Chains A and B, each alone.
Chain A
Amino acid sequence: MSTGIPNNRLRLLERAKRALPALTPALESLLAGIVGLLVGALIMWIGGYDPWKAYVALFRGAYRDMYGFASSLARGTPLILTALTFSICMRAGMFNIGAEGQVYGGALAAVTVGYFALPSGLHIIMGLIFAMLAGAAWSLVPALLKLTRGVHEVISTIMFNWIARFFAFYLVANVLVDPIRAEKTISVPASARLPILVHGTDLSYGLFVSVFFALVIYFLLWHTTAGYELRAAGLNPTAAHYGGINSKRTVLLSFILGGLGAGLAGATIVMGLPPTYAVYSGLPQLANVGFDGMAVAMVGRNHPIGILIAALFFGGMNAGGRMMQIIAGVPLEMVRVVEGIIVVALAIPELVRLFRFFRNRWRSLWRREPA
């Protein structure tokens, strides 16, 4: 070695260099998160709130103690699943905005197990399967519309979200309604509830369902032929086509897998949500879980492992947001404002490069010698 650097250190440098491209996406997510929090602070400040107080309350509420941490995980549980719904289609080169409606379908399908009596274990499995089937069925129609009629999935899935919303309103008010309390559906029976994981919180075994599903998707996409084909179709549709990959099959597969995930998300909410284990009219616990999942997917860079980390962050934002509301008086909705800005920031490729560009320009302004 003529450079005089010891051999082992050189090797370490080489390894760091190779790891750097893998780190860039994480760095971009981090930067986007910071941008989102800063713009959010600006909006809070304009609205007449104290942003510092708000964020301190938010992050303390989300991560400081066991209760906060468990609540964050509980909020993150369904987000992992809806994020996967978006990511699977994204990996296949499509934009599936339909998780929202599929969550409604999954949750209401899970409620219907209340009409059956089964031993506990079987009852839970039945609820999960019902929810997955409902989600997949709701996802299948936009996929078929795309394949047979060429309807763009963004338009069809959004329309399906609205249809699902009103259909869910109908089911909650007229079909699955609790005969004693008209504002909610019948409750999921005790034998079909996901047990609580941390006493005193609403974190249930649903977390394991989510993580397990994420691992299954990881295995499917990166270790099977079908998954390879799906990702190939997303990276380069033309090349995939000439390579003999059946594009119709990848569309169907990605939408069905996504629907299974979103349906499951509905199930983890309704089967793991004390105290009533039911869906209320107006769908307060279900609303926006699908949309939030898109933000989680993008911050997680559409990778199952990244999604697990991002879901902890967004789950924390949602859980800590309640503390923010109580202590700093900032409405919980602020969380979604920050989410939106984070997603917009992530749409900019090479965000890091742009950041460096502006930083250098800023520095050069100060470095310039007075003439």
Chain B
Amino acid sequence: MSWSYLWSILFISLHAMVPITLTAVGEIFGETAGLFNIGLEGILLVSAFTGALAAESGGAVIGLLTGMGTGAIIGFIFSVINTYWKGNQMITGIGINLFALGFVAFGLIVLGAPGFHAVPAESRLVPIRTPVGSISPIILVALALPFAAHWFLKRTRFGLILKATGESPEAADVAGIRVNLVRLLATTFGGVLAGLAGAYISVAWIGSVTKEISAGRGFISLATVVFSGLNPVLALLGGFIFGFFESLATWIRNLPGSKAVPWQFIAMTPYIVTLLVVAGVIGRVRFPKALGKPYIRE
């Protein structure tokens, strides 16, 4: 295997890394504040759809913004249910995923093409031309964001407030922090990032919407958060690892003469790797004490 092959895989990995990293960083904010959102998969799916739709009428930037807005709305609904209304986070997440599954399939039929909708080339995000190849600008966002997030969470007062609401909401409440409001903001922000990731998939990367466009990436992001131990910079690394295996699978599938291994087995690898990685790192990771529990003032 020559170096150019390796380079092309790494290059595709960079693109595949983006949605996982963005979603994972958003979820790190949410989990730090104490909310566990398994509806990320649904947010990715719906925002990929709405983002593509908006991009067609208003251009790629509008598409990305619409994706973020969609993520914000779903994230906000999730937050309100699980902060002020003391809901069950798991069940809300499951509901969001079910809703997304139906909504996108429904929307695709309304658009007239059951199961598949291509985003026209002129509506896609224009990549930046660099000497090594064309790079989507969102890749730069995904590369920079984890460091900014790390700084925000570890070095600022707001980061500390976020951590307090996740570790000990009672103490935070006594200190005058509005626990539910902080949680609401954190999870809505997580929704915004997941929305950006979803719109990136359809508008900037793959260029089409299908019923299964998110392909489990929301859950792989959750696994990445576990892997990272709530450290955004490690989430970048995790995103890259998962992106790499995903690209490797696609690459091997498209390789001429690769019929020795059935494609279905190659398509499984990202999910198997996710399982192995999570099984490998768990135990050394510590999560916020109040993760997954609504805060009820006594």
Contact = CB atoms under 8 A, between A and B. Distances in A.
Contacts of B109: 331, 333
B82 to A, nearest CB: 8
A22 to B, nearest CB: 20
Contact of B271 (A151, A163, A348): A163
B101 interface: yes
Given A163-B271, A343-B91, A331 B98 contact: no
B271 A331 contact: no
A154 interface: yes
Contacts of B85: 348-349, 354
Number of contact residues on B: which range applies? Answer: 35 or more
B159 interface: no
Contacts of B102: 333-340
Interface stretch (B14-22, B183-191, B274-282): B274-282
A115 interface: no
A95 interface: yes
A48 B86 CA distance: 35
Interface string A206-241: 000000000000000000000000000000000000
Interface in B206-256: 215-216, 219, 222-223, 226
B168 interface: no
Given A155-B222, A343-B91, A344-B92, A288 B278 contact: no
Contacts of B38: 154
A156 interface: yes
Interface residues of A, number: 48
Interface in B77-92: 77, 81-82, 85-92
Interface stretch (B56-64, B120-128, B170-178, B260-268): B260-268
A155 B271 contact: no
A166 B272 CA distance: 12
B279 A149 contact: yes
26 contacts: A43-B106, A95-B94, A151-B279, A151-B282, A152-B226, A158-B216, A158-B219, A159-B216, A159-B219, A159-B274, A159-B275, A166-B264, A166-B267, A170-B265, A298-B91, A336-B98, A336-B99, A338-B102, A340-B100, A342-B95, A343-B95, A344-B95, A345-B95, A347-B89, A347-B95, A348-B85
Contact of A333 (B106, B223, B272): B106
A174 interface: yes
Interface of A: 43, 47-48, 95, 97, 145, 149-152, 154-156, 158-160, 162-163, 166-167, 169-170, 173-174, 288, 291, 294-295, 298, 331, 333-349, 354
Interface of B: 38, 42, 77, 81-82, 85-92, 94-103, 105-107, 109-110, 114, 215-216, 219, 222-223, 226, 262, 264-265, 267-268, 271-272, 274-275, 278-280, 282-283
Contacts, number: 148
B87 A348 contact: yes
Contacts of B90: 95, 154
Nearest to A169: B264
A349 B96 CA distance: 17
B278 A163 contact: no
A321 to B, nearest CB: 11
Contacts of B278: 149, 151-152, 155-156
Contacts of A97: 94
A196 B58 CA distance: 54
A145 B279 contact: yes
Nearest to A292: B98
A341 B264 CA distance: 33
Contacts of A145: 275, 279
Given A159-B219, A169-B264, A347 B81 contact: yes
A344 B101 contact: no
A155 B276 CA distance: 11
A334 B95 contact: no
